Amino acid sequence: MRIGELARRTGVSERALRYYEQQGLLTPERRPSGYRVYCDAHVPAVRRIRVLLAAGLSTAQIQEMLPCVVDDEGLLTPGCPELVDGLVRHRHRIDEAIAELEATRATLDTILAGRRRAD
């Protein structure tokens, strides 16, 4: 299938699909004319890429992890032990970022509470 068909079937723009190719996440065949040719297996691959991007992973991380991600009836699961370790580390970084944001919010709440008392 051509890139337009893959875009239609996945709901992802052609521009994003080209970017995924540039990042090494998708490898379509190329015709002598230069047209990209995708196969049916690229449809679930794009879905896995989108889920991993939504989880906050970079394209470089996804490139490393993608071969180890298994689509188990619509649920992505790690298929390699080293993938679990990487995902746990990523989750820990997210937890730390959330804690920092909560501390920032608490500081702003304190400042705003002082403003309310002054009114």
pLDDT digits (tens, 9 = 90+) for 77-112: 888 888 888 899 999 999 999 999 999 999 999 999
Categorize the per-residue pLDDT at 119 as very low, low, confident or very high, splitting at 50, 70 and 90.
low
Identify the pLDDT of residue 4: 95
Identify the pLDDT of residue 79: 85
Is residue 118's pLDDT more than 80?
no
What phi, psi does 66 have (nearest 5°)? -50, -40
Tokens of 56: 């906050």
